[in-house]
Structure 1
Amino acid sequence: MALVSDDDRETNDIGIVVTRGVSFSGLLELGAKLVKLHRFQGQVRDMFTRLSADSKVAMESRNHLLHGAWTTPGKGPASASRVKAKGTVDRTFTVAQVEDVAYDLAVLADQLFMLFLVIEGAVDYEE
């Protein structure tokens, strides 16, 4: 949203219209284009690039957990199958791995919010 417009009075309204209904991967793609278009250098570009890559990995695990077809294990970790364009992907998840996914998503949400605050100029933050 902060990347859509430089005018604080219109940023929320325009950002909502532009991003409504866009998939997570679509939002990352749009964000990358806007970061490049706004010619952000240094920290903003570096943070966005790193957080985008980390977010893709975390969201893939999240999507597998939420959208996979789960099997009931006899013993050991549960398994989830997810059908994708390139075929079916099976993954096992221990309880600790599920907790790790939740933790990674929470940390990334905080980091993305910090990036938003940096872009908005609300905080002076250096990594």
Structure 2
Amino acid sequence: ADSVTWNPHKLLAAPQQCSTFLTKHKTILKECHSSNATYLFQKDKFYDTSYDTGDKHIQCGRRADVLKFWFMWKAKGHSGFEKHIDKVFDNAKHFLEHIKQRNGFKIVLEKPECTNVMFWYVPKCLRG
């Protein structure tokens, strides 16, 4: 693949800015997102400015906050994330079974592909 994106926000309850996008194309992010804002990215820095992510990031000066996810990983570990994911899938199954028993709910997919349970609620006045 040319690129990969991953959003731990949805399944792992990480902060939203932890989403990650990686690509093999070294210049494409700068080409797409560069604002060349000289007031933000001065060239007279005491470090290698090629490491500045601002012009390579969709949110300019706001960096991807992956450190928050790293802290989560250090706190929970592999097994903690595994337990969390198992619990989320169990919750989805439980919710699906609960919705099936309720009047007025129509299940869209009998077997959800992930943790999203899709259903319609049909108000009493519209039920045939």
Question: Between Structure 1 and Structure 2, whose CA radius of gyration is higher?
Answer: 2
Which structure has more RCO (C-alpha within 8 Å, separation ≥ 6)? 1
TM-score normalised according to structure 1 size: 0.29
More helix by share: 1
TM-score normalised according to structure 2 size: 0.29
